[in-house]
Structure 1
């Protein structure tokens, strides 16, 4: 049976999770600003924006994977916490059976 978390552990985990989420928000903001600048530069300076799509798609994939790691898969995910809780409950039910 897992031991309850101390107040310090809860604070450390909460700070780590908040930091990961803020890191993703900053990544998304920089992504939008830089790609907007690339779009404007390619459209205004050279009259074509075909080349500005490539960094957008590449970096967009990176941003997506970063988001998956922060929101769905990593230690910061509610999904992981729910899965751990379900496993705990299953093990407790098995342990209670005679």
Structure 2
């Protein structure tokens, strides 16, 4: 792998991590906002936990894809390199 390929690979991984951190930040802000609305308007009934659980599940999947299974980026890069090789052979 060339230096520029290594840079592009690292850049994609960093962008994936930053995407997750953005997702997590928006999730935390919105859930906090929903909790405030819930407690101000109807403190007897707690409902904000439902969107927190649903969206939290999506955040957990996002985290797993970025941090637990990062090899998906390696597979994607290998497929891209293979396609580039095929295109060069045709021309």
Query: Could you say whether these structures have the same fold, taking a TM-score greater than 0.5 normalized by the shorter chain as the test?
Result: yes
1:42-86 per-position Cα deviation (integer Å, ceiling 9, x unaligned): 001122452100000000110000000000113378xxx8xxxxx
Residue among 16, 23, 48 paired with 1:20: 16
Query: SS at 2:29's partner residue?
Result: helix
Aligned residue pair count: 74
The corresponding residue for 2:53 is: 57
The corresponding residue for 1:35 is: 31
RMSD value, Cα: 1.8
Q: Which runs of 5+ in 1 are unaligned?
A: 82-98
In 2, Cα distance between the equivalents of 1:29 and 1:48?
A: 28
**Taking CA–CA contacts closer than 8 Å with sequence separation of 6 or more, which of the two structures ends up with the larger relative contact order?**
2
Say which one has the larger Rg: 1
TM-score normalised over the length of structure 1: 0.69
Provide closer, same or farther for how the CA distance between residues 49 and 74 of structure 1 changes in structure 2, counting only shifts above 3 A: farther
Relative to structure 2, which stretch is displaced further, 54-63 or 66-75? 66-75
TM-score normalised over the length of structure 2: 0.74
- Kept after mapping to 2: 8 A contact 1:38/1:52: yes
